[in-house]
Amino acid sequence: MDDQTLDSLRKTILAGFPDLAGSAFSLATAGWHSTAVDVDDRLIFKFPRHEIAERALIKEASLLSAIRPNVSMAVPDLKLHEGPPLFSVHGKLKGEHLVTADYDKLSETERRGLGRDLGQFYAELHRLDDGQMAAAGAGPVEQWQTVETIRRKALPALPAALHALAAETVEAFERLGPDPYGSTYGFFDGHGWNMAFDHAERRLNGVYDFADSGIGPLHREFIYSCFISPDLTARIVETYEDLTGLALDRRRIAVLTGMHRLSELAELADDPEHAPTMLRSVETWATTVARAN
């Protein structure tokens, strides 16, 4: 829909849910694909901003119906309202984003519990049948920018001090070869902005936003938690290995983490609004690499 002001969205919601007339409405997020409205801190309504987003929302609802009964982690119970306009509604997963500064405040016991919960989530998610998930709408995960594009657009945008690390990472990526465990259906978006973390209780109440989930190389699943902390990623991997019997390649995960940051920078290097954010993301990654070494 064209008009996505809070007043317009409230009218649309009330047309389908008149019992919410006395509720409190607020804009939750205005992301790349959808605008979300929070109602009474209890319900989330998502409104696609364009046709591609509509297709993504329909796919997400279908995928979640297959995921929810098979994972211990809470995920949205997303219901579609056909409209027009098309939108979705689900019960809000109570919690806030989990960023690095928040993770750093957690105790050893809390970090261990978080790593265990996420490791179990990925192990359960990867047990889902790829054919079933494809039938539910899962396709290949989004491709990154090519090595040639990254060399041409990302590397020149970096400060001189980061050129060597970036070039080494690209070269290491070229040497990786196919994932030794092939592809699997996965989340592939497990950063802290898709988490409902209860900061008072210091526990994860659920994860959301499965629009970018799909079938992709297994090791790639474990790079997104590095946006929070490499320490969390290490804990997730340890639990995942214990539950699945697989031995993950830490070096491969590290290289993929760097390539993902460089790919995002290459994609948005010419975008004056978003390029600075992508550059800071690469710089943060480089700092963690320096600390690890």
What digits encode the pLDDT tens for the residues 190-229?
999 999 999 999 999 999 999 889 999 999 999 999 999 9
Domain total of the chain: 2
Q: Does residue 3 carry a pLDDT above 70? A: no
Find how far residue 135's CA is from the centre of its chain. 22
Does residue 109 share a domain with residue 132? Answer: yes
**For residue 261, pLDDT beyond 70:** yes
On the question of pLDDT at 31 being above 70, the answer is no
- What secondary structure letter does DSSP report for 274? T
Considering the domain architecture, whether residues 153 and 106 belong to the same structural domain is answered as yes
Q: Are residues 21 and 166 in the same domain?
A: no
- Judgement on whether residues 168 and 87 belong to the same structural domain of the protein: no
- 164-192 burial string, b = 16+ CB within 10 Å, else e? ebbeebbebbeebeebeeebbbbbbbbbb
* Sequence-ordered strand ranges (E) for 74-130: 79-81, 87-91
What residues does 112 pair with on adjacent strands? Answer: none
277 located within any domain: yes
Domain that holds residue 129: 100-292
138-190 confidence digits (pLDDT tens): 999 999 999 999 999 999 999 999 999 999 999 999 999 999 999 999 999 99
- Regarding whether 84 and 143 lie in a shared domain, the answer is no
Residue 92 · residue 41 · CB < 8 Å: yes
CA 127 vs CA 55, 115, 138: distances in Å: 25, 18, 15
Last residue of a domain, one of 64, 91, 118: 91
73: pLDDT confidence band, cut at 50, 70 and 90? very high
Over 80: is that where the pLDDT of 81 sits?
yes
Query: Would you call the peptide bond into 84 cis, given omega within 30 degrees of 0 as the criterion?
Result: yes
State the pLDDT confidence band at 4, using cuts at 50, 70 and 90: confident
Please state the φ and ψ torsions of residue 33, each to the nearest 5 degrees: -110, -35
126 and 19 within one domain:
no
Say which residue, 31 or 21, is predicted with more confidence. Answer: 21
Output the average pLDDT for the chain.
95
CB 94 within 8 A of CB 40: no
pLDDT of residue 291: 79
Tell me the whole-structure pTM to 2 decimals: 0.92
Instruction: Note whether 204 and 280 are same-domain residues.
Output: yes
Pseudo-torsion of CA 108, 113, 116, 119, nearest 10°? Answer: -90
Boundary (domain end) residue, out of 66, 91, 116: 91
A 10 A CB-CB count for 272 gives 7
CB 132 within 8 A of CB 260: no
Identify the band that residue 242 occupies on the pLDDT scale cut at 50, 70 and 90. Answer: very high
Same domain, 29 and 140: no
pLDDT at residue number 1: 53
Q: Which CATH number belongs to the domain containing residue 234 in this structure?
A: 3.90.1200.10
Q: What's the CATH number where 48 sits?
A: 3.30.200.20
Question: With 0-12 CB in 10 A as exposed, 13-18 as middle and 19+ as buried, what is 251?
Answer: exposed
Q: Are residues 149 and 106 in the same domain?
A: yes
Asked which of 91, 122, 151 is the last residue of a domain, the reply is 91
Percentage of the chain surpassing pLDDT 70?
Answer: 97
